[in-house]
Amino acid sequence: MKRKGSYSVSRRQFLAAAGVAALAGSVRGLADTDSGPELRDPSDGLRRPNIFLAIADDQSWPHAGAYGDDAVRTPAFDRIARRGVLFNHAFCPASQCSPSRASLLTGRNIWQLEEAGTQASLFPAKFDVYTELLERHGYHVGYTGKPWAPGNWRQAGRKKNPAGTEYNRHHLKPPTSQISPCDYSANFADFLQARPPDTPFCFWFGCHEPHRDYEQGSGVRAGKSPDTLSVPPYYPDNDIVREDLTDYRLEIEWFDRHLGQMLRQLQSCGELDNTLIVVTSDNGMPFPRAKATLYETGARVPLAVQWQARIPGGRVVNDLVSFIDLAPTFLEAAGLPSQPEMTGRSLLAILTSDASGWVDPSREAVVLGKERHNHARADNLGYPTRAIRTSKHLYIHNLKPDRWPMGDPPGYYCHTRMTNPTKEFILAKQRDPDVRQFYEITYAKRPAEELYDIELDPDCLHNLAADPDHAALLAQLRSRLEAILKEQGDPRMGEYGDIFESYPYFGGMNPGLGGFAERGQYNPQFRPPRRSDP
């Protein structure tokens, strides 16, 4: 076996992590010839792997070619899925940018992250992140595009963004007025050039797309057809919505194009084989009943993982996995000890097996949650909610059902003030009898409990919580969720759950909502009493 580079992982650790499956993966990788030049001999595998995370901003499952969506072209994602493992049931713990990214970085759920469990707040320095743990163990760590954001890490006592050192120097002329000018792949080249010799790297490609705004009509102007996509049943099927969904897909394609360029860069510098590549999205699409909800389009995200030197490819895995599993996976792959404060469990055993389908029987449920998103209600209140998603059902507990789920009318600013034609159409026509049903399911108030049969009702349209035939199941999922939350120390299960409402918000404040609206300040009304208080 040829070897090169530094060998920081012991042979024992390597064998434990990879097993005989590694060889099978290498052979399959070399046999796959769809990407040009022959890959280099991966038998130098005792080096610590590079860790490469590509994270889109607001892309739902199943909006990628590998999942069967013919209306979006994602050749780079699809290639990773073919050469690695495609996860069918991957979930972000919170359907929001910064809490979801904080969970990914720490391996903890949002109710275990204090301020960082809410959108655009602080990221307390006491929470270890995998990037810094790898950096302390000799990794070269950096990011391009969108890191942990939005939020304030400086005021929380951190010296740099939790995603690593910034590489955002290069810009290009983007194909639309609303796509970021960040030249992600040129910045990745910068990062690779800055790497000391024989040093493994950990890179975060945080694409700004397909987050809103979109240049309206850009998808059609780029040659995409709005006629082939399927419109979710909770939106009216009309030209406005189809155009919006087409513009969204164009931005997914921009993400994929840069991903493809970075894979070629990895290949040309000889690092493709020994890089653990993870491609996903921080939360679902920025549309009604998707982002900032715990329904399938909000919390279920694409996930494909490739590590040519170790992972047998060409597999589809149905286990339910969460972002909190990624940090433990990265640490184990790098040969670092597991961190007891991380709640997630490493996926490495699944990845290095040669199994498909449901691989680990214990992975049959994930828990999800959400606290405040944007400034969208009086007193800057959130819409706290928790959920458990099993292989068959989704149970959602809305903790404050008296509040408006997507923000107070008339603005419903949970989805910010950005241009959102689908939202604007539904709100403008909400009294129209043909549109009312869509308003009811996207913006109206929700009951305290929701229960959906995902196999029969993947769009989560038929709430079974009040159905007597499902009463036993409802009670079972309710108590199971509560037990997990209590075990994980969720403040919402205790006396001072409203502490989440006190956390500062550093995003834009919306005028006219009333009550507390101080940007970046704690709301004293919801701070729990100090221990010394009577």
- Residues within the interface to Ca ion (CB under 5 A): 57-58, 97, 282-283
Q: Which is nearer to Ca ion, 73 or 212 (CB)?
A: 212
Question: Minimal distance in Å, beta carbon 306 to Ca ion?
Answer: 23
Question: Quick one: which of 311, 347, 323, 325 has its CA closest to 85?
Answer: 311
Contact by Cβ (8 Å): 313, 80: no
Question: Minimal distance in Å, beta carbon 507 to Ca ion?
Answer: 13
- For residue 222, how many other CB atoms are within 10 A of its CB? 16
Question: Minimal distance in Å, beta carbon 116 to Ca ion?
Answer: 15
Q: DSSP string covering 199-249, please?
A: --EEEEEE--TTPSP--TTHHHHTT--SSSSPPPTTS--SHHHHHHHHHHH
Q: Where are the extended beta strands (E) located within 97-199? A: 140-145, 165-166
Place of tokens 């409802």: 474
Helix (H), strand (E) at residue 12: helix 11-18
Residue whose C-beta lies closest to Ca ion: 97
Q: What is the 3-state secondary structure (H, E, C) of 453-499?
A: ECCCCCCCCCCCCCCHHHHHHHHHHHHHHHHHHHHCCCHHHCCCCCH
Q: Which is nearer to Ca ion, 129 or 333 (CB)?
A: 129
Place of tokens 């707040």: 121
> Which letter, b or e, does each residue of 15-26 get, where b requires 16 or more Cβ atoms within 10 Å of its Cβ?
eebbeebbbbbb
Q: Which is nearer to Ca ion, 57 or 256 (CB)?
A: 57
Dist. CA 267–CA 262, nearest whole Å: 9
Question: Minimal distance in Å, beta carbon 364 to Ca ion?
Answer: 27
Q: Which is nearer to Ca ion, 57 or 114 (CB)?
A: 57
CA 497 to the chain's CA centroid = 25
Question: Minimal distance in Å, beta carbon 89 to Ca ion?
Answer: 20
Q: Which is nearer to Ca ion, 326 or 331 (CB)?
A: 326
Dist. CA 195–CA 187, nearest whole Å: 13
Question: Minimal distance in Å, beta carbon 446 to Ca ion?
Answer: 22
Q: Which is nearer to Ca ion, 94 or 336 (CB)?
A: 94
Question: Quick one: which of 281, 322, 312 has its CA closest to 74?
Answer: 281
Q: Which is nearer to Ca ion, 71 or 292 (CB)?
A: 292
Helices 75-83 & 239-268 angle (0-180, nearest 10): 60
Q: Which is nearer to Ca ion, 307 or 413 (CB)?
A: 413
Handedness of CA 502, 496, 125, 135 (dihedral sign): negative
Question: Minimal distance in Å, beta carbon 466 to Ca ion?
Answer: 32
β-bridge partners, 202: 51, 141
For residue 164 the two structure tokens come to 């690593």
Question: Minimal distance in Å, beta carbon 328 to Ca ion?
Answer: 22
Question: Minimal distance in Å, beta carbon 92 to Ca ion?
Answer: 9
Q: Which is nearer to Ca ion, 28 or 289 (CB)?
A: 289
Question: Quick one: which of 231, 377, 223 has its CA closest to 290?
Answer: 231
Q: Which is nearer to Ca ion, 271 or 282 (CB)?
A: 282
Rounded to whole angstroms, what are the CA distances from 347 to 142, 285, 306, 530? 23, 25, 12, 40
Angle (CA) 283-289-294 rounded to 5° is 50
Question: Quick one: which of 321, 484, 316 has its CA closest to 395?
Answer: 484
Question: Minimal distance in Å, beta carbon 59 to Ca ion?
Answer: 9
Dist. CA 43–CA 532, nearest whole Å: 61
Question: Minimal distance in Å, beta carbon 96 to Ca ion?
Answer: 7
- For residue 181, how many other CB atoms are within 10 A of its CB? 10
Question: Minimal distance in Å, beta carbon 351 to Ca ion?
Answer: 25
Q: Which is nearer to Ca ion, 168 or 281 (CB)?
A: 281
Contact by Cβ (8 Å): 477, 389: no
Q: Which is nearer to Ca ion, 74 or 274 (CB)?
A: 74
Q: Which is nearer to Ca ion, 260 or 286 (CB)?
A: 286
Question: Minimal distance in Å, beta carbon 282 to Ca ion?
Answer: 4
Q: Within 13 Å of residue 1, how many CA atoms lie on the same side as its CB? A: 11
Question: Minimal distance in Å, beta carbon 314 to Ca ion?
Answer: 30
- DSSP one-letter code for 528: P
Question: Quick one: which of 338, 503, 509, 485 has its CA closest to 416?
Answer: 509
